[in-house]
Structure 1
Amino acid sequence: MGVFELQYDRVVPARRPEGHQPAAPRYSLRWSQPHLSLVSVYFGMQSKQMGREAESEFFARIRGFLAAADGPQVHELMRSCDEAAYDNAIVVAYWTDPTVYSRWLLASGFREWFESRAAAADGAGYWFEPVLVPYDRHETIYSAPSYRIGFARTEDAVIVPITTNGFFGAARDRLPLSAVDALESPARGVMVAPAARSSCGGHWMAAVPHNATILRSGQFWEGAGQEQLEDYLEQLQPKLMRGMQHLVANRGETGCLSLRIMTNVNEDGSPRAETSVYATFLSLDQLERWAASHETHLDIYRHAIAMNRQHKEKREVVTWHELFVVQLGNVFEYINCHPATGILPYVRAMRVELPL
């Protein structure tokens, strides 16, 4: 079976060192059919103390909309406690055709329901973060070929081995567009001061900056044996959490506009042995600098490499990510959310007054 891939004659130098051979096998996502644009949409509800009943009702509501005609190929349920200690119920859905997604958005009823939340008196906040990217602005990597998650669960998805891994700058090299575009941030990595809002009641629209980088990075340890499970929970996971804390505590340096640590949940709301970090950065360059030079990421990197070398193909903890460098035009929406929600404090945002 053939695979679809876009490639350009390179005019921007690659980051791969000459003669580099990766120390461990890695894999990436392709499709057997052309998909020129990809859509990843996050639906969220937040409240200070969200009970399981409210969470389940939100999941059921969103899944009902997703079940309408032209709904996504796959979706996942997650929960997260954000930096303001608000509970968030999250559904992420994936489409590989923006026309199909657009039809769903027009006809499913979600849009009308979401906008009606501005006048709701349920004490909850709601957010909607749709990510639409051309194919050449995405890249993926998986530590194992057998586990499917995110876009890898969509129809026609194919996992293929790669050798563009194991060096700093590899993620950029895996982005097809990086061959012809330096993917520079127009803001030149300068974060704006957070907006001094005491509340974000009502409906707000926030523009995602051009060439911002959106990353979902995951960990899956279901079925891991005792030795590797203990290593992950006691050694690697704490290093991951320290790294995430550094990113949000040093936004001016890291360009971290938003970061959520999410736990996947089953249909009954029970947690899965799976987490992922969903984060937005002002620029790919700032994410790369942290990855290549800061001790918090080097601790993660060294430990993961050591475990991969020790266990090789018998590594039982799967790690992966999907990364998007977005064009100008992506807009995130927030209704009755607290003022530190998502990217809202750090980008241009406008309050929306919808006609009655």
Structure 2
Amino acid sequence: MRVIIYIITKSEVGGAQTWVRDQTKLFQEDFRQVIITNSKGWLSENNFSDNIYYVKEIESKFSIIAFLKILKILVKEKADTVVSSSANAGLYARLCKAFYKHNSIYVSHGWSCIYNGGKLKKVFIKIEKILSYLTNTVLCVSEKDADNAVNVININLDKIKVVRNSVFPQKVRNIKDIGNLNILSVGRLAHPKRFDLLIDAVNEINGVTLTVVGDGPDRSKYQDTTNIKFLGEIKSFSNFHDYDLFSLISDSEGLPMSALEAASAGLPLLLSDVGGCCELIDENGFITLNNKDEIIQHIEEIKSNYTKFSDNALSIKDRFNLNIQKKAYYNLYFNTNQSKTVVIN
């Protein structure tokens, strides 16, 4: 039986972890699937894999112990394909390529070397370029990620494939007339998310409420008010259909899974103009600069013309169905019917 191993640095709830979870569900009947991550957590409790290995040292920027443990697992499992998500996982997985022959795929969920590199940005970009030589395929989750891979990191175009992030169909929002506009935002309360901007905007608009699902180090900065509620972390949250608008304000993203889930439920979207977010907007909402006044303007326009935005959102919800992408992923994992062109839903 063919064997695929997913390597991801942390098991905590997040977009990349949701992507791995959904892959294991999509292919649970097709081949053996194994996960390597740091410790028990959200992903270890929410997946459809055949086995999970824990390598605590994978959290380190580089650990020879982590490298040897991961290499040993790849050999033991006789891995055909290794799919790595996140920078640390990508480093270890691709170094293993030099010692164990396999199909090496690195998934870019937004290039952290570009957006979060800080003063060492040029160094991290150079490292990513070097690691691409040990990679069969760089899988980009959006066209924006692919553009950055080629034009900023200078990765060979032949290695780039785009399969846009998608999700399993969500329960669809009940169509109804709205009085108050109920906004939902889902994400970790930490950099690069900008809940501060969204909260400040909502506080200046009448007839609007905001519900935040998520937890993190910035939680202590915020308090519940009459129009803003914090529900904390909800594992496998799926109640998108209970809200009128989904908003994600952030300084960097790939193609956010929470926004895809909201779009699949037929919600209008208000997203920051970062990463591939613009690829989710087609008259079903707005892309916004991270500016309070502009966010207010967009919320007010959606509220005033809600039927139009809701109808448009419902009309395109099926674009984000992961089941449609199954063949594209299978071909990628096992080098079947590959072409040099990108694959986009």
TM-score by length of 1: 0.25
- The structure in which a higher percent of residues are helix is 2
Give the structure, 1 or 2, with the largest relative contact order (CA under 8 Å, sep 6 or more): 1
TM-score by length of 2: 0.26
